[in-house]
Structure 1
């Protein structure tokens, strides 16, 4: 209860300090401190991105010049009716030893729900970037399942200037999911392909997602994609100002 109260007070104070900006940044000795109501960091080269699940959310990020960083992000403070306090605490190390041509990252993130501790779990992650391309990997040991994910972002490919991003995930359930026809599903995979290109001020995105499950097997699907079966989506976006 004390931990929840302190975190809630911190987030409310942060919101007051960041009235004109989503992120407040300060130098504290050899550390760079960021307070924000929007995530200030993504991990594993963009594979792990903090999200917001409630009206009140925020966190802090503390980075040392040596490459070590630690932080905590709360997707939901649990102040609104029906919401729970959620806390994501992470510790990692990132380096860019060869200018901007090569860099790497290693870390651990812990997802905790103080009001439902049986759902607490950890995720290990790593990232590598090389000459504009990024590779991220993550392994999660959530209750009742194990998930491993790879993300490859090749950046803007010449000569067309098209961005290419691929993701692949493997999901293993501790207990097989029994289907209506008597079959069981314990391990399944899913993947996605995303193409993006700006053209005359318009951002075009083409995405394809799929999994190795189909038909009645989709009743057991709980992966990364919005749908179990094949989904092809095209989007065009242009800012008004």
Structure 2
């Protein structure tokens, strides 16, 4: 990494639909029981494995939210919007998912499902992603794979849960991206495959979520013109993000 840039972003999380639901849960997720279903509304993704995939990834991250409906059998579906498209340089994105989650016992469990990424206000084509993962105590490891027009993407993510002695939550993500047609960059070079990664350390503090994120990729310099991976920055970046919810 030739250099690192530091960004400080303050995000205020809003989810207007929350006012219609009885507030019985934490500061970021509201829950309500509907017969055999459990409904969650929140400003952070509530789904375990999908949470490693449907997360705010740039755009107007001050306005995001979603819902999740889970049946007692383990079947679930939901929607998450990481960007409401309220600023001129962003677009509305809606991530819809469905899957099945089943515990073996109190220590082990598995989950699998599919996510559809859609962009209603643009010409960008919808894409789909399959994911699966295992839970070991409070830690989760998962993988995802998608084949879109002109590319293939695979992702490995790890959520270690809360590290009790430090009160920290550690999440890691690694992605591989392959282009069917190599991208020609300035100077005559080509890029046909690249990797990206991120490390997120978070901790609640005084009603806020403190997030320290390091992200990077195998591309740098002029090669970054071909980048379209998970991170908002192609080259190495350190981000401090502070999120405050109003419920």
Shared fold per TM-score greater than 0.5: yes
Q: 1:84 to 1:19 in 2, by over 3 A?
A: farther
Within-5 A mapping of 1:2-81: 14=17, 17-18=20-21, 25-34=31-40, 36=41, 38-39=43-44, 41-44=46-49, 46-51=51-56, 59-74=66-81
The structure having more radius of gyration, on CA atoms, is 1
Q: How far is 1:63 from its partner? A: 1.1
Q: Secondary structure of the equivalent of 1:107?
A: strand
Q: How far is 1:86 from its partner? A: 4.2
Q: How far is 1:173 from its partner? A: 1.8
Higher relative contact order (CA 8 A, sep 6+): 2
Q: How far is 1:220 from its partner? A: 1.4
C-alpha RMSD over aligned residues: 4.3
Q: Is the 8 A contact 2:54 2:82 kept in 1?
A: no
| Equivalent residue number for residue 6 of structure 1 | none
Q: Is the 8 A contact 1:166 1:193 kept in 2?
A: yes
Q: 1:89 to 1:45 in 2, by over 3 A?
A: closer
User: Which is richer in helix?
Assistant: 1
Q: 1:143 to 1:39 in 2, by over 3 A?
A: farther
Q: Deviations over 1:136-188 (max 9, x none)?
A: 21223344322111112334569777654332110112321101111111111
Q: Is the 8 A contact 1:190 1:209 kept in 2?
A: yes
| Equivalent residue number for residue 97 of structure 1 | 104
Q: Is the 8 A contact 2:141 2:159 kept in 1?
A: yes
Within-5 A mapping of 1:115-134: 115-116=121-122, 119-134=125-140
Length-normalised TM-score, structure 1:
0.70
Distance in 2, matches of 1:58 and 1:236, equals 17
2:143 paired with 1:140? no
| Equivalent residue number for residue 191 of structure 1 | 197
| Equivalent residue number for residue 4 of structure 2 | none
Distance in 2, matches of 1:126 and 1:143, equals 22
Distance in 1, matches of 2:91 and 2:200, equals 33
Length-normalised TM-score, structure 2:
0.68
Q: Is the 8 A contact 1:136 1:152 kept in 2?
A: yes
Q: Deviations over 1:4-41 (max 9, x none)?
A: xxxxxxx98x455249787654433322234x363552
Q: 1:213 to 1:23 in 2, by over 3 A?
A: closer
Q: How far is 1:78 from its partner? A: 7.0
Q: Is the 8 A contact 1:45 1:129 kept in 2?
A: no
| Equivalent residue number for residue 117 of structure 2 | 111
Within-5 A mapping of 1:140-219: 140-155=146-161, 164-195=170-201, 207-219=213-225
Larger mean Cα displacement after TM superposition, 81-90 or 178-187: 81-90
Aligned residue pairs: how many?
225
